[in-house]
Structure 1
Amino acid sequence: MTRTYFITGTDTGVGKTLVCSALLEAVNKANLTSVALKPVAAGCEMTDQGPVNDDALELQSHMSVQLSYEDINPIALEPAIAPHIAAAEIDLNIDIDELAQHCQAMTNDADVMLIEGAGGWRVPLNEEQYMSDLVKALNVPVIIVVAMRLGCINHGLLTAEAIRADGLQVAGWVANCTTADNMPGLGDSLLALRDRMEAPFLGYLPYFEDPDPLQIAPYLEISYL
């Protein structure tokens, strides 16, 4: 049976794709099969094959069970703006139920499936529903990527609180340094989060100027998953 996890973050640009790709490599190294999805992506580049997202392509390059690009990223939006706004510009209504059914059909009998969100937990997908509603429809545990910068304690705890308030499990969290200049009080902030997140700590990622998921995979602990 496929173990499925949703990857969210404390904000946009916190390293969800990097962490997701590194987790895929860690799963592969453990001799397990992996597959990943990016159901909704904004900021896509228009190509002869249609809109393509760099994050979805990155996931595709690290999963062991191959899917077509369209299966990995069924909602590909060109403007780099909030998904519901980008979708409205092309008169597209993102249907949560259809998207959830698509995700559930894509396991391909892989041992582990990772589904990467867009932005944070409360990103709107249409006029009434949010990214969190997609995860509720999927009913899968969530991994949080916390960007280690000023405000990270508040952002991490609020994200975990919102996930639990939605009736879902926080399967674990990853601390990711997104800039070369470490935040003041980095060690104490990390300790505060570890004391308060009430979820397995899956790893601390220092800043990498040119991050390689293969290089980063050993920093992550997947035994909790």
Structure 2
Amino acid sequence: MTNHFWIVGTDTDVGKTLVTAYFMRYFQTKGVKAIPYKPIQTGIMVENTKHFYGDTEFYKSFSEEVLVEEHLNSYSFKKPASPHYAAMLEGAVIDEAVILQHITKLMTMYDHVICEGAGGLYVPLNEQGNYHFLKLIKQSQLPVVLVTRTKLGTINHTFLSLEALKIWEIPIVGIVFNGDEGTELEKNNIRTIQQNTDLPTLVIPKLDVLSDLKNIQLPNTDFLERLSSI
């Protein structure tokens, strides 16, 4: 069985790329072919004379095997901004057909295609603001894993995101709480969300060093096994 899904977030910088990389490594260690795919990435980075994009570079850094560069991304824009604005600055237009065709092609080549969103669910992909990531996800006909924070504000952001996904009739595989530091507030936030949904959840602790991702051991493997049987 081939299993493909989106990693989406309640907001920007909630850890979608980290979770995508973790799931990629998990599947790779199971001996199956997995590819992360970031349709749109923004914000070019410069280190000395090297120019690169953080998301796809992160994938390559944590992969158990060499990843095919052209499989990882369709659109890259220099400005660290919403996709529609970053594209506009370069006189470009994001064509959803290109992204959907790329996903379809990858699904014929890999056991798991892990598509990563950009920002939150309603991030616009065109200047008019009437085409956003939710519409793209709906058109792809793939389920989603929702990544959220554990800090103050996460309850509201998480429930609003879940409501939007349900309105659009997009299947939700589960929720990943990222960056947990184990405070009483965070425990209550997580418990409140768990008690008010019927979704499986996974908690990823805060990583002081990103290289710890390679060695992280998560207790709840049921969530990960569920991804293998979508």
Q: TM-score, normalised by structure 2?
A: 0.87
Cα distance between partner residues in 2 of 1:51 and 1:138: 31
Q: Structure 2 unaligned runs (5+)? A: none
Kindly state the Cα deviation for residue 27 of structure 1 after the two structures are TM-superposed.
1.4
Shift of 1:145: 0.6
Q: 2:204–2:218: 8 Å Cα contact kept in structure 1?
A: no
* 8 Å Cα contact 2:151-2:189 kept in structure 1: no
Paired residue total = 220
The 2-side partners of 1:65 and 1:210 are apart by 21
Matches within 5 A, 1:1-225: 1-45=1-45, 52-63=52-63, 66-126=66-126, 127=128, 128-177=130-179, 185-201=185-201, 203-211=202-210, 212-216=212-216, 218-219=218-219, 221=221, 222-225=224-227
Whether the 8 Å contact between 1:35 and 1:107 is mirrored in structure 2 is no
Structure 2 SS opposite 1:37: strand
Rate the CA distance shift 1:114–1:146 in 2: closer, same or farther, 3 A.
Answer: same
Aligned partner letter, 1:106: L
Identify the range of structure 1 (207-216 vs 32-41) with the bigger mean alpha-carbon deviation.
207-216
SS of the counterpart of 1:218? Answer: coil
Q: Matches of 2:63 and 2:117 in 1, distance apart?
A: 17
* Structure 1 alignment gaps of length 5 or more: none
How many Å separate the matches in 2 of 1:217 and 1:102? Answer: 32
Q: How much does 1:220 deviate?
A: 5.4
Q: 1:46 to 1:94 in 2, by over 3 A?
A: farther
Q: What is the aligned-residue RMSD (CA, Å)?
A: 2.2
Give the distance between the partners of 1:170 and 1:37, measured in 2 at CA.
19
> Match of 1:119, as an amino acid?
G
Give the deviation of 1:21 after TM superposition. Answer: 0.8
Q: Deviations over 1:117-170 (max 9, x none)?
A: 111111101122001111111110000111111110111111111111111101
Cα gap change, 1:106/1:65 in structure 2, threshold over 3 Å: closer, same or farther? Answer: farther
Identity across the alignment (%) = 27
